[in-house]
Structure 1
Amino acid sequence: MQVTLKPVFLDRFRAALCRLGCADDRLLCAVSGGPDSLALLLLAQQILPGKLVAVTVDHQLRSDSANEAQVVAKICRDLGVSHIILTPDEKIVGNLQSSARTARYALLERAADAENCQHIATAHHADDQLETLLMRLARGSGVDGLSGIRARNGRVVRPLLEFTKAELIDICSSGGIEAVNDPSNANIDFDRVAMRRWLASTQHPFPATRALRTTSALADASDALVWMTDTLAAQRIRQENDIIICKASDLPRELKRRLLIRCLRKMDSNLAPRGDAIDRLLTDLENAQASMIGNIKCLGGADWQFSKAPPRRAQENSL
């Protein structure tokens, strides 16, 4: 199959790969069959001939999913791109979107290792970024959450973040490829679908390209705060026997909050308290009060102290 794409799209995609540091490496491309991932496939096939492996994950959540994966397989054959279909090791249960995402990325990581691909590309784009920003704003997220979808997360890269949905549909049209229709994309029970529907049906002042500027600025701010927290943690957190001590009383509240989270994770790496629980605990510590979170005893004051609470039975026997 001969595909001719607009040079401006190819130039922008090549520039994105260069910024992400993967312009010359083997790339594993996640292709579901929708217009976004098919556009990613077409662009990558043009820019990285011979260095591309496409993967479709069949989550086996719908009766048509196996057929849709085969449609993608045929498109890849026509393009001369190696293609793999993967299925989860276990049935997807619970929160379907979250569980499917976890299973999908685990399968992609495994396939990237097997195919000797240094990077995994997904088709997140500018409209996805806008949806993410607004969804997290509605949930009251802080700087880290509002930084949105990162262009790079480990070996996962997202070279389409500066492309709009309309541009990706244009790319598929130019390539003469018809996208697969996933009915779950019309299910407004999913928060993202509901946000997408609202954005499509409302005259709103949120252009996707402007959202990119906002999330990029917030990502820079988040990275700066992480760097600052790393520096302060090395200076202000110490361990004495089984007690972790942190001197944070003279710092801005956001840095106190981040150091607090570092201390809690040092005590229990599995602890994942919600933001409001952290805020309440931080207020207690600022007021020199004692508090509990999970199985960790926390004592405020000039120096915060964190220690594991004794097992409940031991506490009861000591009474």
Structure 2
Amino acid sequence: MRISAASDASLIDAIAGADIARFTDDWRAAAGQMPRAEAPVGVAVSGGTDSLALLLLARAAFPDAVVAATVDHGLRAESAEEAAFVATICARIGVPHAILPPCPAMLAGGNLQDRARAMRYRCLADWASAAGAPWVAVAHQQDDLAETFLLRARRGAGLGGMAAMLPLRPLARGMTTTLVRPLLGWSRVELSALVHAAGIEPVEDSSNCHPRFDRSRVRTLLAETPELPPARLALAAANLRDAETALAWVAEREWAARAEVADRWVALDLAALPRELRRRLVARALRTVADAPPPRGSGLDRLIAAVDAGKVATLAGVVVRPGPRWRFAPAPPHRSP
């Protein structure tokens, strides 16, 4: 990784006016309002191609309303050097930058990549709140949509799982900071060209092409298979997102008409509903009573099949009783022998 000998201004001047206008429109479509000096956008920058492109575009579009941060996971020997590399670029273009230290306790157990992502978002949420930034922008782009679509399809995911990432959502539970993805319409090739035009050689994370990881293998498959164009797969994911939004709207309407909610119990009329709407309403009833996300997939399907058969069933600490209106209530505590 290196920066050319070009002047500081040239890093931004290398970005075409059309790209700045396109990014500004994409930001407005995703976030709904523009950053300002007193309410800047926080940009998450790893030093890779996509996040550097996001940094340069944001700086060009919102000159006085950008702050940046790099989370040093401490998972690779090069991570401290990469964070310092990003700090150098930010200093040259006049963007305040913070290096966020790792939280080792949050990386223990489970899938390491999932844990690292959760830790990164939590660190970014705390940093953005302290910096007065209502948004944290991340650099997910069109090729990421295509890769995720294939990964989820391979696992047999449903509509919600294969739908495109949301361009706007809460960053972390219990935090007011919003996650924004303004690059979902940009390809990896476009972003790479923008970074190289600025004379920057980005960080290359070797794990991105290591066959040990599912996403790396899917990325290789897409690169080697012209019959799977990322733009078309991303379009399919976007279409599924539209369908998911429509189903969520219908489910909300049916919940209002069919659910009776009282203190720690729910009565729910599921008559004559399609299977997917029944699943969604049952999941919401479980979540309402347990005040926690219910299990998905086969566990939920087994519960519905059991109650349909006239049996009392329990899932996620909630007991469900059959009848014209299913009743959901907290399961009684287990008695010690």
- Whether the TM-score (by the shorter chain) exceeds 0.5 is yes
Taking a change above 3 Å as real, the CA distance of residues 273 and 255 of structure 1, as seen in their structure-2 partners, is: same
Cα distance, 1:300 vs. partner? Answer: 2.4
Gaps of 5+ in 2: 1-7, 171-177
Give how far 1:253 is off. 1.2
Counterparts in 2 of 1:174 and 1:296: CA distance versus 1, 3 Å: same
What's the counterpart of residue 110 of structure 1?
126
**Deviation (angstroms), 1:241:** 5.9
- Residue range with higher mean Cα deviation, 72-81 or 265-274: 265-274
Matching residue of 2:229: 207
| 1:22/1:119 contact within 8 Å kept | no
The residue type equivalent to 1:7 in the other structure is G
**Counterpart residue number, 1:55:** 69
> Equivalent of 2:25, from 15, 37, 54?
15
Letter in 2 for 1:139: R
Q: Aligned partners of 2:51, 2:305: CA distance in 1, in Å?
A: 45
Deviation track 1:60-100 (CA, whole Å, cap 9, x = no partner) reads 11111101100111111111111110013334222211111
Q: 1:33 is matched with which residue?
A: 47
Deviation of 1:296 after TM superposition, in Å, equals 2.1
Alignment of 1:1-319 (within 5 A): 1=8, 2-3=10-11, 4-20=14-30, 21-25=32-36, 26-91=40-105, 92-94=107-109, 95-154=111-170, 155-203=178-226, 205-239=227-261, 242-313=264-335
Query: CA separation in 2, counterparts of 1:284 and 1:302?
Result: 15
Percent of paired sites with the same residue: 38
What amino acid is the match of 1:93? Answer: A
Q: For the residues of structure 2 that align with 1:294 and 1:80, how far apart are their CA atoms?
A: 50
Q: Greater CA deviation, 3-12 or 256-265?
A: 3-12
* 1:29–1:121 CA contact under 8 A, matched in 2: yes
Which region of structure 1 is more displaced relative to structure 2, 14-23 or 50-59? 14-23
* Native 8 Å contact 2:286 2:316 kept in 1: no
Aligned residues: 314
Q: Which amino acid aligns with 1:105?
A: Y
Counterpart AA for 1:122? V
Q: Which 5+ residue runs of structure 1 have no aligned equivalent?
A: none
Q: Following the alignment from structure 1 to structure 2, what is the Cα–Cα distance between the partners of residues 10 and 208?
A: 23
The answer on whether the counterparts of 1:44 and 1:52 sit within 8 Å (CA) in structure 2 is yes
CA, structure 1 residues 30+240, in 2 after alignment: closer, same or farther (shift >3 Å)?
closer
**Would the aligned equivalents of 2:259 and 2:267 in 1 still touch at CA under 8 Å?**
yes
User: What is the SS of the residue equivalent to 2:298?
Assistant: helix
| Letter paired with 2:247 | L
TM-score, normalised via structure 1 length: 0.93
> CA–CA distance in 2 between the matches of 1:37 and 1:286?
49
RMSD of aligned alpha carbons: 1.7
| Partner Cα distance (2:55, 2:159) in 1 | 32
Q: Partner of 1:156: helix, strand, or coil?
A: strand
Greater mean deviation of Cα atoms: 155-164 or 266-275: 266-275
TM-score normalised to structure 2 length: 0.88
Q: Distance in 1 between matches of 2:103 and 2:262?
A: 44
- Residue aligning to 2:174: none
- 3-state SS, counterpart of residue 234 of structure 1: helix
For residues 262 and 138 of structure 2, the distance between their equivalents in structure 1, rounded to whole angstroms, comes to 45
